[in-house]
Structure formats: structure tokens, C-alpha cells
Amino acid sequence: MTARGFRYCTPVLLVAAALLARPLALTAQSHITWSDDEKPIVQKLHGLRSLSDRERPKATLQLALEIRQLPASPHKEILADQLANLATEGDPGHDTLQEVAGTLAQGLKEQPPPTEEGKPNSAFVTLAQLVRYEHVQVSSDNPQFAAAMSKLEADDQARQSANFTLTDLTGKSWTLRDLRGKVVLVNFWATWCPPCRKEMPDLEALGKRFGPQGLVILAISDEDATKVKPFIAEHQISYPILLDPGRKVNDTFRVEGIPKSFVYDREGKLVAQAIDMRTERQFLAMLAQARID
């Protein structure tokens, strides 16, 4: 996640969660003075996570349309980026994601943000991720968008060739390449990440359902074992929990925010990945790419 967005959990969101009922201007965007038209949208963005899974897609779609009607300004692009980050938590439906992406593309076209230390602005990366991983269609002739797409392709190439050896909470060592012949789902998570916690029961159920067919779930956390062990015991998670001190494997996979999941088929080919929290239905679609369903 970027400092402006919500797609991925970062420690900053611990503060944001505590201030969830307060205006966004008091949290991540304290330097912004929102207009009267923007303030209701800011409040609705804060409330998205509190909605039920049934209500949230409709609210997301409505926000996309409301943001699109705002006059061109840097604020519009920021709000569109934040909505795009939140929209990928779960399964709002392809049509909703298409509207969200269209709103973000419009905001970026009207007020293109500058590059960030010579790299594509994070909002262009967000848009590129929607196109590459959520299969929406947008049009952008901005060089930052092209650079962002190239970056994602390079990231995927790195993940395809990635390997690691990590130890789980029981002391057992796991090496990714040694699992050829299995379908492997690598999940990056943390105890403090709300979307991570939300998808864990589905991962647990999938592990039990497909374990006999060769599915191995490896969940990787960069936290200390003293934090992870009691959490796993409390939530009765049975799939392997691997520890990544120093974030070396996170860096190898180019994980800049969580949750993230990657599925490798029995030949070790990366066949599916998720840029955010997934539902059971979405995980099943990912596993189908590895021919386990």
C-alpha cells in the first residue's frame, strides 16, 4: 500500500483503524482541506469496511460514480485511488471494479500526479494492478502507466523464479522448490491486518478441503513469533505459518503491502495471484488455474 491508499495493510493503518470514525483529514491526509462536496465521500470511504459483504459492492459502485462527478482536482485523483485500493478487498464484482478503474483513470488523466523519485506514481501502479490482475479495461497514454505495467511484469517474472526456505512455528523447514508436485498457495499476512484476518477462515477451510489433493498453504509473516503464536492458537489455524525475519522473502516477492497471495501449480509455475484479500469463491478461481478444484 502507498501512504495515500488502503489496498494493503501497513502499520500506519493501526492508527487509522483507531481513528476510523474521525475524518480522513485527521489521519493519513492531515494536510488536505476537503471541499464540502468531498467531505461526504471521505466519510463514506472510511465506512466501507464496516459494511456487510452484501452492502459493500453497491456502496463502492456509488462512490465511484460520485467521485467521477467531482470537478478535476488533485483531490479527485486521491479519492479515486483510495477507493480503488479499498475496492479490491473481497469480491465486489467485475462491473464494479470496471467503474472504479474508470473513475481512477479519469482522475489521473485530468490531474496527472508527478512521479515518485523517478518511479511511476503509486496511483498509476494502482491502475495498472487493476488492469493486470483484475482484468478491467482502461485507456491511458501517460508514460507513467506504461512504466507501471512494465514494473508489474518484472515483478511477476521475479516471483516466477523466486525460491525460499523458511521455518514454521513448529520448527519445520519449508522450501518452495521442494514442493514441486504440489499446488502451493503462498500467502503474505500479519496479525494486525484486518483484511488478512478476514480471509484466514477461508484459507483454513480450503486447506482442509484440498489438502488430500495436494494443496499446500504457506502463510508468511514478518512478525515475531511471540506475536504470531498466540494469534494462531486463538484462531485455530492449522496450515503452516512461516516466519520471515528481516523480510527477505517479502522483498524477494516484491511485497509492498498485504495481504497478497500467489498460487503455483504442480510444475512450479506461477498461475494466479491476488493483490488483496480474497473470498472463498475468488480463492477457488485461483486454485482452478492450478487444476485443483
**Type of residue at 174:** W
Which pLDDT belongs to residue 31? 77
The verdict on 232 and 282 lying in the same domain is yes
The verdict on 171 and 152 lying in the same domain is no
pLDDT at 10 over 70: no
The verdict on 139 and 265 lying in the same domain is no
The verdict on 143 and 39 lying in the same domain is yes
pLDDT at 71 over 50: yes
The verdict on 148 and 188 lying in the same domain is no
Mean pLDDT computed over 101-112: 97
Distance CA 273, CA 263 (A): 6
195-228 residue pLDDT tens: 999 999 999 999 999 999 999 999 999 999 999 9
Distance CA 238, CA 152 (A): 32
**Type of residue at 143:** P
The verdict on 114 and 242 lying in the same domain is no
Domain stops at, among 156, 174, 202: 156
pLDDT at 145 over 60: yes
* Full-model pTM: 0.86
Which pLDDT belongs to residue 5? 40
Domain stops at, among 103, 131, 156: 156
Given pLDDT bands bounded at 50, 70 and 90, which one contains residue 9?
Answer: low
pLDDT at 17 over 80: no
Phi and psi at 213, nearest 5°, equal -90, 5
Q: What is the DSSP-derived secondary structure letter of residue 9?
A: B
pLDDT at 16 over 60: no
User: Is 239 within a domain?
Assistant: yes
Spell out the residues 6+ positions from residue 121 whose beta carbon is closer than 8 angstroms to its own. Answer: 112, 113, 114, 115, 144
142, three cell numbers: 501517460
CA terminus-to-terminus distance, the chain: 31
Domain stops at, among 127, 156, 185: 156
The verdict on 83 and 106 lying in the same domain is yes
**Whether residue 11 has a cis bond before it, omega within 30° of 0:** no
Given pLDDT bands bounded at 50, 70 and 90, which one contains residue 2?
Answer: very low
177, three cell numbers: 522448490
* Bridge partners for 285 per DSSP: none
DSSP code per residue over 68-87: HTSPSSHHHHHHHHHHHHHH
User: Is 193 within a domain?
Assistant: yes
Distance CA 79, CA 64 (A): 9
Which pLDDT belongs to residue 166? 98
User: Is 293 within a domain?
Assistant: no
Query: Where in the sequence is the domain holding 253, given as residue range(s)?
Result: 165-288
Beta strands in 149-209 (DSSP E): 165-168, 173-175, 183-188
User: Is 190 within a domain?
Assistant: yes
User: The sheet that has 173-175: what strands, in order across it?
Assistant: 173-175, 165-168, 241-243, 215-221, 183-188, 260-264, 270-274
Phi and psi at 188, nearest 5°, equal -100, 130
CB 135 within 8 A of CB 155: no
The per-residue pLDDT of the chain, averaged, comes to 90
User: Is 117 within a domain?
Assistant: yes
The verdict on 82 and 201 lying in the same domain is no
User: Is 7 within a domain?
Assistant: no
pLDDT at 26 over 90: no
The verdict on 172 and 129 lying in the same domain is no
- Lowest mean pLDDT across 21-30, 46-55, 148-157, 178-187: 21-30
- Lowest mean pLDDT across 4-8, 63-67, 85-89, 231-235: 4-8
User: Is 4 within a domain?
Assistant: no
Which secondary-structure segment (H or E) carries 242?
Answer: strand 241-243
Q: Taking each helix axis as running N to C, give the angle between helix 74-87 and helix 56-68, from 0 to 180 degrees, rounded to the nearest 10.
A: 160
CB 72 within 8 A of CB 37: no
pLDDT at 73 over 70: yes
17, three cell numbers: 483503524
The verdict on 19 and 63 lying in the same domain is yes
Which pLDDT belongs to residue 223? 97
Local structure of 91: helix, strand or coil: coil
Mean pLDDT computed over 43-72: 96
The verdict on 60 and 187 lying in the same domain is no
The verdict on 99 and 219 lying in the same domain is no
23, three cell numbers: 475524518
Domain tally, the chain: 2
Distance CA 57, CA 162 (A): 35
Distance CA 92, CA 130 (A): 13
Given pLDDT bands bounded at 50, 70 and 90, which one contains residue 30?
Answer: low
